[in-house]
């Protein structure tokens, strides 16, 4: 589940400071996002991944978040349809790169799905309904995933949660790190749930890569919680990225070559 050797990221554009965000008071800086992105790439490489860095797209402020317009698996890639109108066209920009690396690339043709609403576990893929992912898109994606041999379950994302993975991360093959809100929704039946500390809900957007877990450096109690569970934690500064309603998982596409 966590064995990756390849990743794709995209350099942040100067227009990134105008990206989507819920809190208009929190304006990120371009140098700050660039610095955090570089540190992120270094962390991926240190975890054993070969990272391809795609050029910035000035026409798409949120294009640094490559996981929203696409999904990648050993079986192939899926070009998605992000729910925000300003992100229409991002998948088409990723298509040539994915077609060069995967024998099978399938496009979502109906509805809308953001990759941030898709959580992959050992036995199924969870697709969260949200303001960015609708029922039509979720059903269409579930059908595509069936063709990949991956069962999918469509679940509701609680109000106030932007993306499913904003509030949940798979940290081992049987355990998800979740916020209290998401835990109360009764998702992930049959899996162990570890609650992110109150006040550190954004820390639930962690990222397991091979033998390490990337966690936002601002959430010390979350870091301590995972360390006490015997996990090797790599803290990363993502305060500027976080001002764009984003986190660690959406900054890359990760897979293991067959």
Tell me the catalytic residues. Answer: 163, 250
Answer yes or no: are the C-beta atoms of 202 and 219 closer than 8 Å: yes
Strand order in the sheet with 168-172: 168-172, 175-178, 192-195
Q: Which residues of 56-73 are buried (b: 16+ CB within 10 A; e: fewer)?
A: bbeebbbbbbbbbbbbbb
Q: Choose among 49, 13, 28, 31: nearest CA to 252.
A: 49
CA–CA dist 52, 257 (Å, integer): 14
Residue 198 CB-half CA count within 13 A: 0
Q: Choose among 112, 90, 51, 100: nearest CA to 253.
A: 51
């Amino acid at each position: 589940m966590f064995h990756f050797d390849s990743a794709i990221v995209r350099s942040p554009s100067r227009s990134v400071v105008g990206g989507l965000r819920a809190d208009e008071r929190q304006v990120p800086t371009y140098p700050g996002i660039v610095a955090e992105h570089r540190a992120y790439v270094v962390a991926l490489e240190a975890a054993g991944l070969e990272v391809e860095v795609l050029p910035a797209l000035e026409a798409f402020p949120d294009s640094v978040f490559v996981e929203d317009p696409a999904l990648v698996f050993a079986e192939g890639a899926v070009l998605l349809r992000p729910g925000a109108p300003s992100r229409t066209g991002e998948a088409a920009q990723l298509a040539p790169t994915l077609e060069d690396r995967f024998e099978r690339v399938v496009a979502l043709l109906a509805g809308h799905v953001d990759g941030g609403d898709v959580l992959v576990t050992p036995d199924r893929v969870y697709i969260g309904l949200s303001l960015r992912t609708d029922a039509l898109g979720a059903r269409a994606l579930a059908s595509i995933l069936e063709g990949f041999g991956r069962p999918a379950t469509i679940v509701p994302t609680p109000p106030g949660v932007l993306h499913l993975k904003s509030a949940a991360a798979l940290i081992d093959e049987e355990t998800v790190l979740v916020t209290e809100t998401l835990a109360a929704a009764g998702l992930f039946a049959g899996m162990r749930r570890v609650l992110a500390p109150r006040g550190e809900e954004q820390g639930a957007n962690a990222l397991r890569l091979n033998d390490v877990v990337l966690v936002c450096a601002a959430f010390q109690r979350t870091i301590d919680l995972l360390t006490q569970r015997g996990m090797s934690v790599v803290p990363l500064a993502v305060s500027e990225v976080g001002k764009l309603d984003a986190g660690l998982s959406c900054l890359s596409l990760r897979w293991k070559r067959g």
